[in-house]
A and B are shown apart, each in its own frame.
Chain A
Amino acid sequence: MNAARPDAARGVAPLVHREQPPADVLIRAAHVLDPRTGLDAPQDVLVRDGEIAALGAPGSLEAPEGAELIDGEGRHLLPGFVDPHVHLRVPGHEHKEDLDSGTRAAAAGGFVAVVAMPNTDPVLDDATVLRSLREAARSEARVPVGFLAAITRGLDGDALTEMAELADAGALGFTDDGRPVHRAAILRKALQYQRLCGGVLALHEEDPSLSGAGVMHEGEISARLGLAGIPSISESTMIARDAAIAGYEQGRIHIQHLSARESVEAVAEAKARGVRITAEVSPHHLTLTHDAILERLDTRLKMNPPLRSQDDRRALVDGLRDGTIDCIATDHAPHAREEKEVPFEQAPMGTTGLETAFAAVHTELVVPGILPLALVVEKLSAGAALLGLATPRIAVGEPAALCLIDLAAEWVVGESGYESRAENCCFDGRTLRGRVLATVAAGAVVYRERAFAVSAA
């Protein structure tokens, strides 16, 4: 469902990162699970010069001279995750996060590629900003980073950005994330222009006249706390509107961070009508509800869209299972400590999520048998194809993009700090099962869990 790029031979790499020495590693006897290639068994995996060079029965491969040997026995080796929705806060908000810390968090979460949103300061609405960001990522990003550019200048919803030039400069697509494209006519023009420049339009769906000054899901908990609510229909009515416009223009849209049952239904209806629409859901919307806010009025639980009801959460899980929702995206949204240490209504929206994405979904949905592990693994990298990026695969000849995970390892979120500069993680203090031990991105080892023993062969 990629938006075809009319001008395919553009010559600009979609992702950029700091060059690191290619890995020579033998991962011995890990349980290799790649739902796309059908691999689901213990294997030796040899990575040479950053590429998967050989697969073989456990104990069958020898580590070549100088290669690292990683004991994978009892662990799972998965295709690395790809996050189509993160906020790296550069430029302008480096006190929250930067390219180094954000991609360090990504690597620690098993991610081998992330896509950053343009709601920065200045907004990524101009090719010069994009070029300088990509240049910075070439020296600072631990894992490959791609960028979405703004749909409208300054995210103000009034005038289109120079989408074609931005696409030429490497924008993977366009979004006004953080805000809706509230004027239907502007969205329609962006979809028309998409025929020229390609690139997915990723949409934050919210009708501001319905969400108003809301700070959490509208329902029993907001009524109890006296907090202004954000009704589910604020999201679902905009999805229905935008799906109708996209269908009319035969454009390609991607709905960001679904949060409500009505939204899942709106996406399913649009898909049934043949609209070129995909959707993502975050680990926190899949695993938490607004009840958590009643337990503790914690600003780390404040995000947009908000945590909703148990019924909404179940609809999101069902939507992920039946394919209505295409991928998992974290919406990693770091904020400085002092920005979140204020009363709930005053706190900025957002939770970090890169370091906890797999463990949260694994603990709450895979361990209890609600979703199969293979489905979660597939959905954690499915965002790549939606944005026209290569999907990590575990097969000979593929670039090494892997993560090694101990599914049984329990850890307390935040107990030993975060790789992210920010600590506003909605899972903070929770005990999760599933720990990333090592990540290989773009052929290089980009993360090793501190306590995880790695020995040279």
Chain B
Amino acid sequence: MRHLLSIEDLDRGGIERILDRARSFTEVSEREIKKVPALRGRRVLNLFYEASTRTRSSFELAAKTLSAEVINFVSSGSSVEKGESLKDTVQTLSAYRPDLIVVRTPHVGAAELVARWSPAAVVNAGDGKHEHPTQALLDVYTLRERLGALDGLNIWIVGDVMHSRVARSNILAFTKLGARVTVCGPPTLIPRGMEALGCEVRYTLDELAQADVVYALRMQQERMTESFVPSLREYAARYQINGRRLGARQVLMHPGPVNRGVELAAEVIDSPQAVIGQQVAAGVVVRMAVLFELLAGRAAPDRQLVTA
């Protein structure tokens, strides 16, 4: 595997290999000196065109724990605001000779373009509403730790599926590992044709009891002004995961940051069913495993392959 642009780049075996390695990295975080020299001398460039706290910091922490050098390039205050195109930015930053670029942009397919325009390995950290593959991997990791395996699990993804790259990557990853996925939300927020991803579609939570795992998505305020839902109040009344709806044996997940009182009620966030904190912790080890997978034992990118 040269890049991680989509969950489609991985088969079941590839996903399991990354997760097994992630597990072996947990021991590093327990040490007093939280550092191993696996990627010493390698350069990782974080190229972020969208605000992000946890994804960027967990990539940074993952790279530093593996002893790689990290450069952060964020769009505000940069050449991007002066009108530089993505292609020019990538080619300019390639002069720093990064071995790997972590890229987040608001545009579908942008990570793939970065991979085309740079000799470095590329990890997609979110491209518009398309995919966020490392989120899916850390979610699968968290579920494996909690439940052992995903085979035969019923997983419900609830909320704003339309605008969610997490939903898209997770449907692909969960189904690759043998789970059955149902997406549920207001009909205005489930895109036409969503079943093509291999999931079922529901518009009410009536059958939520059949779920082994409930994955709530973040509901953004602006969806209301665009008339996707009449009000957050009505959304919460129909789709909020609360103590009444969440069963004692169901596992609750959320990609963060949570809108308390909208998609999740306070009582479930802090319930024993919730694994939201574990998801964040898994982010670091899983991203360590992804960086290791793409960089360890691989020569620095061949400059001769750079195309204009």
Question: What residues make up the interface of A, taking CB atoms closer than 8 Å to B?
Answer: 218-227, 229, 231, 297, 338, 341-346
The 8 Å CB contact of B193, one of A221, A338, A341, is A221
The 8 Å CB contact of A222, one of B87, B112, B193, B195, is B193
A-contact bits for B173-206, CB 8 A (1 contact / 0 none): 0000000000000000001111111000000000
When the two chains form their complex, are residues A226 and B85 in contact, meaning their CB atoms are under 8 A apart? no
Question: Inside 8 A of A343's CB, which chain B residues have their CB?
Answer: 86, 105, 107-110, 113, 127-128
Task: Tell me if B131 is interfacial: C-beta within 8 Å of chain A.
Answer: yes
When the two chains form their complex, are residues A225 and B108 in contact, meaning their CB atoms are under 8 A apart? yes
**Chain A residue nearest in CB terms to B194:** A223
When the two chains form their complex, are residues B108 and A227 in contact, meaning their CB atoms are under 8 A apart? yes
**Chain A residue nearest in CB terms to B190:** A223
When the two chains form their complex, are residues A344 and B107 in contact, meaning their CB atoms are under 8 A apart? yes
**Chain B residue nearest in CB terms to A346:** B107
When the two chains form their complex, are residues A219 and B130 in contact, meaning their CB atoms are under 8 A apart? no
When the two chains form their complex, are residues A344 and B85 in contact, meaning their CB atoms are under 8 A apart? no
Question: Inside 8 A of B112's CB, which chain A residues have their CB?
Answer: 297
What distance in Å separates the Cβ of A311 from its nearest Cβ neighbour in chain B?
13
Question: Inside 8 A of B87's CB, which chain A residues have their CB?
Answer: 338, 341-342
What distance in Å separates the Cβ of A291 from its nearest Cβ neighbour in chain B?
11
The 8 Å CB contact of A226, one of B113, B129, B195, B196, is B129
**Chain B residue nearest in CB terms to A293:** B109
What distance in Å separates the Cβ of B232 from its nearest Cβ neighbour in chain A?
22
What distance in Å separates the Cβ of A85 from its nearest Cβ neighbour in chain B?
29
Assembly CA distance A186 to B277 (angstroms):
58
Question: Inside 8 A of B168's CB, which chain A residues have their CB?
Answer: 224, 226
Task: Tell me if B254 is interfacial: C-beta within 8 Å of chain A.
Answer: no
Question: What residues make up the interface of B, taking CB atoms closer than 8 Å to A?
Answer: 85-87, 105, 107-110, 112-113, 127-131, 165, 168, 191-197
**Chain A residue nearest in CB terms to B111:** A343
When the two chains form their complex, are residues B192 and A344 in contact, meaning their CB atoms are under 8 A apart? no
Assembly CA distance A225 to B165 (angstroms):
9
When the two chains form their complex, are residues A226 and B192 in contact, meaning their CB atoms are under 8 A apart? no
Enumerate 13 A-B pairs (CB-CB under 8 Å) in ascending A order.
A222-B191, A223-B191, A223-B193, A225-B108, A226-B129, A226-B165, A226-B168, A227-B129, A338-B87, A343-B107, A343-B128, A344-B107, A344-B109
When the two chains form their complex, are residues B193 and A218 in contact, meaning their CB atoms are under 8 A apart? yes
When the two chains form their complex, are residues A219 and B131 in contact, meaning their CB atoms are under 8 A apart? no
The 8 Å CB contact of A345, one of B107, B194, B195, B196, is B107
Question: Inside 8 A of A341's CB, which chain B residues have their CB?
Answer: 85, 87
Q: Name B's interface SS.
A: mixed
The 8 Å CB contact of A342, one of B85, B165, B192, is B85
Assembly CA distance A225 to B107 (angstroms):
11
Question: Inside 8 A of A345's CB, which chain B residues have their CB?
Answer: 107-108, 128
Assembly CA distance A222 to B129 (angstroms):
10
Q: A223-B196, A223-B197, A343-B86 are in contact. Are A229 and B191 (CB under 8 A)?
A: yes
Q: A222-B193, A229-B192, A343-B113 are in contact. Are A338 and B108 (CB under 8 A)?
A: no
Assembly CA distance A304 to B198 (angstroms):
29
The 8 Å CB contact of B196, one of A224, A231, A346, is A224
Question: Inside 8 A of A223's CB, which chain B residues have their CB?
Answer: 191-194, 196-197
When the two chains form their complex, are residues B108 and A218 in contact, meaning their CB atoms are under 8 A apart? no
Q: A226-B131, A342-B85, A342-B87 are in contact. Are A219 and B193 (CB under 8 A)?
A: yes
Question: Inside 8 A of A226's CB, which chain B residues have their CB?
Answer: 108, 128-131, 165, 168
The 8 Å CB contact of A338, one of B85, B127, B195, B196, is B85
Assembly CA distance A218 to B113 (angstroms):
23
Which of the listed residues B87, B193, B196, B197 has the most CB atoms from chain A within 10 Å of its own CB?
B193
Which of the listed residues B86, B108, B196, B197 has the most CB atoms from chain A within 10 Å of its own CB?
B108
Assembly CA distance A222 to B87 (angstroms):
24
Assembly CA distance A226 to B190 (angstroms):
11
What distance in Å separates the Cβ of B225 from its nearest Cβ neighbour in chain A?
14
**Chain A residue nearest in CB terms to B129:** A226
Which of the listed residues B109, B112, B197 has the most CB atoms from chain A within 10 Å of its own CB?
B109
Assembly CA distance A229 to B108 (angstroms):
13
Question: Inside 8 A of B196's CB, which chain A residues have their CB?
Answer: 220-221, 223-224
Assembly CA distance A128 to B110 (angstroms):
43
Q: A221-B196, A231-B192, A344-B108 are in contact. List 19 more A-B contacts (CB 8 A).
A: A218-B191, A222-B191, A223-B191, A223-B192, A223-B193, A225-B109, A226-B128, A227-B108, A227-B129, A227-B130, A338-B87, A341-B87, A342-B85, A342-B87, A343-B105, A343-B108, A343-B127, A345-B107, A345-B128
When the two chains form their complex, are residues A220 and B193 in contact, meaning their CB atoms are under 8 A apart? yes
- A-B pairs, top 5 by smallest CB distance, nearest first, are A226-B129, A343-B107, A220-B196, A220-B193, A223-B193
When the two chains form their complex, are residues B192 and A218 in contact, meaning their CB atoms are under 8 A apart? yes
Which of the listed residues A221, A223, A344 has the most CB atoms from chain B within 10 Å of its own CB?
A223
The 8 Å CB contact of B86, one of A220, A225, A342, is A342
What distance in Å separates the Cβ of A228 from its nearest Cβ neighbour in chain B?
8
What distance in Å separates the Cβ of B36 from its nearest Cβ neighbour in chain A?
36
**Chain B residue nearest in CB terms to A339:** B85
What distance in Å separates the Cβ of A349 from its nearest Cβ neighbour in chain B?
16
Assembly CA distance A165 to B107 (angstroms):
45
When the two chains form their complex, are residues A297 and B192 in contact, meaning their CB atoms are under 8 A apart? no
Assembly CA distance A346 to B110 (angstroms):
10
Assembly CA distance A376 to B239 (angstroms):
54
Assembly CA distance A220 to B197 (angstroms):
8
Question: Inside 8 A of A231's CB, which chain B residues have their CB?
Answer: 192
**Chain A residue nearest in CB terms to B117:** A341
Question: Inside 8 A of B128's CB, which chain A residues have their CB?
Answer: 226-227, 343, 345
Question: Inside 8 A of A227's CB, which chain B residues have their CB?
Answer: 108, 128-130
Assembly CA distance A220 to B191 (angstroms):
9
Question: Inside 8 A of A346's CB, which chain B residues have their CB?
Answer: 107
Assembly CA distance A223 to B168 (angstroms):
9
**Chain B residue nearest in CB terms to A227:** B108
Assembly CA distance A71 to B165 (angstroms):
59
Assembly CA distance A227 to B193 (angstroms):
12
What distance in Å separates the Cβ of A276 from its nearest Cβ neighbour in chain B?
34
What distance in Å separates the Cβ of B194 from its nearest Cβ neighbour in chain A?
5
**Chain A residue nearest in CB terms to B161:** A223
What distance in Å separates the Cβ of B302 from its nearest Cβ neighbour in chain A?
23
Assembly CA distance A172 to B110 (angstroms):
42
Assembly CA distance A378 to B301 (angstroms):
54
Assembly CA distance A220 to B131 (angstroms):
16
Assembly CA distance A224 to B191 (angstroms):
9
**Chain B residue nearest in CB terms to A231:** B192
When the two chains form their complex, are residues A297 and B197 in contact, meaning their CB atoms are under 8 A apart? no
Question: Inside 8 A of B131's CB, which chain A residues have their CB?
Answer: 226
